[in-house]
Amino acid sequence: MKKFLFVLTFISLTVYGFSQNKGGKERVYTNAMEFYKTLSDGSYAQNFTLQDINGNTYTLYDYLDQGKTVFIDFFAVWCGPCWNFMNTHALENLYKEHGPAGATGVDTNTTDDIMAFAIETSGNNANLACLQGDANNCNSQGGTQGDWITAAGDLPLLPTYSPNTAQCVSDYDISYVPTIYKICPDRTVKEVGQLSSADEYYATVSQCPAVTSNGNDAKLFSFDYPTVFPYCTSDFEPKITIQNYGTQNLTSVQIKTYVDGNEASSYNWSGSLGTYEITQVTLPQISIGSGSHTLKVELLNPNGVPDEDNSNNSKEITVSSNPDGTHVMVDILTDNYPDETTWDLKLNGNIIASGGPFTQPQTHNTIEMCLEAGQCYDFTIYDAYGDGMSYNGVVGHVTVTAGTDTLVDFSGADFTSSKTVNFCLSNSGVSNAIFEDLSIYPNPVSEELTVMNAQGGILSIVTNAGVVVYKKELKNSNEKINVKNIPAGYYVLKIMKSGKVITKPLVITE
């Protein structure tokens, strides 16, 4: 899922915290980064071309290809902290003292090694009047903080309204403002935040890798698939991203894959990548067997010659395979405030998986997992604001499924701050023997449930919140369970026997 959310409400972000207002409701968060995420450090910067209000055009890669480090202040006209930061003039002074030689406002004794922009994020929800501080004609729902053009001074100020677009806001995962990025010449991104002076920003330039001088240098930029999470298969087609870190066009490279130190495949890639360009490559299928294994990928012989820098050629991860595991799908349908939603999954009280916050409103987010059969898990959804996934008629939803079995199913209106649901996975390797002739009927049931051939087991009826509402030892091959006193609703019926578990969705009607 490509993450993006232009903030529909007006978020005030400061160094110490921020608040969010929903139609009069207000909650103060003490740690903004706990709920709002941007691009991960080391992500690859996407190119953009934008015009300023005078029609001058700026293209990101033009400056990176000149070996310049680029700083970007993503702001919004309605944002008070954005206004305060702009008026520190830290980025404007950085631009003046170190920007491109000959550019408007740049000092004649510039170091000529950086570029800086201020990009307004509202797209067509803001206009020129907003940037000019004309509150009467500003079309932003949140108004404008003032004359941004004067506040920016000589710093290039780029709107995202037509003829520009807000694509760069999506590409850079701007979920809160201001967000200040540093982009190194090799096109890697790092969030640097609100620093107080030009000198502080300029001090970070030296943290960028030196501009490459190697002619032939292939870099393994990222290991995309598989990752470290357990998989319910032992066969993989690894996916990697390679980057040309040389000055010559990269047209070929040999790619070797190793499992536990033994060569598993060799693949010859061909194409054409300019300096610092990337491409994703799908490698031949390999089999790693059950359990944990070391998976390594190495790049060799770019353009048919020895690589001039072997330090960036390989990556190694540990992959866990469990072909006997259960493939589980988590589906979270967000409401209009996806940035408030997070989740985790616990086994024996320990978090084994987690996710969120999300960025796309009213969107299905699907997460695949491989879980151990015969175990019971606790799935918890959280809402940072405390009103669940439900606001102004827009309601989210959560489901967790394993094949055709629905393990968790509830509405975003069913909780406020959090909701925990327990579910169990049957052990596929032995459940047929233990529960070979098991029969449960009717389902849905209103009065009496019949359980056949489960003698010796412990039966529980569990709510979606994980509360056990009924429990009974099954002593006979034909057991009658009276459910008349259990409120109508959706439940999980769980039978445990000989250390194994089988679960079934159960619907009780009036």
Encode burial over 447-457: b for 16+ CB neighbours within 10 A, e otherwise: eebebebbeeb
Q: How confident is the model over 2-14, as a mean pLDDT? A: 31
Identify the pLDDT of residue 502: 73
Identify the pLDDT of residue 477: 87
> In the predicted model, is pLDDT for residue 25 greater than 50?
no
Q: How confident is the model over 356-367, as a mean pLDDT? A: 85
Reported as a single tens digit per residue, the pLDDT across 367-389 is: 888 888 878 889 999 999 999 99
Identify the pLDDT of residue 118: 98
Which 8-state DSSP code applies to residue 294? E
Domain range 431-508, CATH class: mainly beta
Give me the percent of the chain exceeding a pLDDT of 90: 60
127 against 457, higher pLDDT:
127
Identify the pLDDT of residue 26: 30
Identify the pLDDT of residue 2: 26
Three-state SS for 36-97 is CCCCCCCCECCCCEEECCCCCEEEHHHHHCCCCEEEEEEECCCCHHHHHHHCCCHHHHHHHH
Superfamily grouping for domain 37-207: Glutaredoxin (3.40.30.10)
User: Rounded to 5 degrees, what angle do the CA atoms 265, 270, 272 make?
Assistant: 145
Identify the pLDDT of residue 498: 62
Spatial CA neighbour of 113 closest among 155, 63, 73? 63
Least confident of 130-134, 230-234, 334-338, 469-473: 230-234
Spatial CA neighbour of 197 closest among 295, 92, 121, 269? 92
Identify the pLDDT of residue 31: 29
Identify the pLDDT of residue 23: 37
CATH of region 326-424, choose from 2.40.30, 2.60.40, 3.40.50, 3.30.1460: 2.60.40
175: confidence class by pLDDT, cuts 50, 70, 90: confident
Identify the pLDDT of residue 204: 98
Identify the pLDDT of residue 10: 31
pTM: 0.70
Query: Which residues, other chains included, contact 75 with Cβ-Cβ below 8 Å and sequence gap of 6+?
Result: 82, 85, 86, 118, 119, 120, 121, 177, 178
Identify the pLDDT of residue 495: 82
Domain ranges of the chain: 37-207, 218-321, 326-424, 431-508
Least confident of 113-127, 130-144, 215-229: 215-229
> In the predicted model, is pLDDT for residue 255 greater than 90?
yes
Query: Which residues, other chains included, contact 428 with Cβ-Cβ below 8 Å and sequence gap of 6+?
Result: 324, 326, 373
- Give, rounded to a whole angstrom, the gap between the first and last alpha carbons of the chain: 41
> In the predicted model, is pLDDT for residue 41 greater than 60?
yes
Query: Which residues, other chains included, contact 411 with Cβ-Cβ below 8 Å and sequence gap of 6+?
Result: 390, 395, 396, 397
Q: How confident is the model over 336-352, as a mean pLDDT? A: 89
465: confidence class by pLDDT, cuts 50, 70, 90: low
> In the predicted model, is pLDDT for residue 245 greater than 70?
yes
> In the predicted model, is pLDDT for residue 38 greater than 90?
no
Most confident of 116-120, 455-459, 486-490, 493-497: 116-120
Most confident of 269-283, 350-364, 410-424: 269-283
> In the predicted model, is pLDDT for residue 103 greater than 60?
yes
> In the predicted model, is pLDDT for residue 332 greater than 90?
yes
Q: What is the distance between the alpha carbons of residues 483 and 485, in angstroms, rounded to a whole number?
A: 5
432 against 150, higher pLDDT:
150
Query: Token pair 């509150």 is at which residue?
Result: 135
Q: How confident is the model over 393-403, as a mean pLDDT? A: 89
Which 8-state DSSP code applies to residue 202? H
432 against 222, higher pLDDT:
222
CA dihedral 254, 255, 261, 262 (to 10 degrees): -70
Q: What is the distance between the alpha carbons of residues 191 and 39, in angstroms, rounded to a whole number?
A: 8
Average per-residue pLDDT for the chain: 86
CATH annotation of 218-321: 2.60.40.10
Query: Which residues, other chains included, contact 481 with Cβ-Cβ below 8 Å and sequence gap of 6+?
Result: 448, 449, 450, 451, 459, 461, 470, 472
Q: Do domains 37-207 and 431-508 have the same CATH topology?
A: no
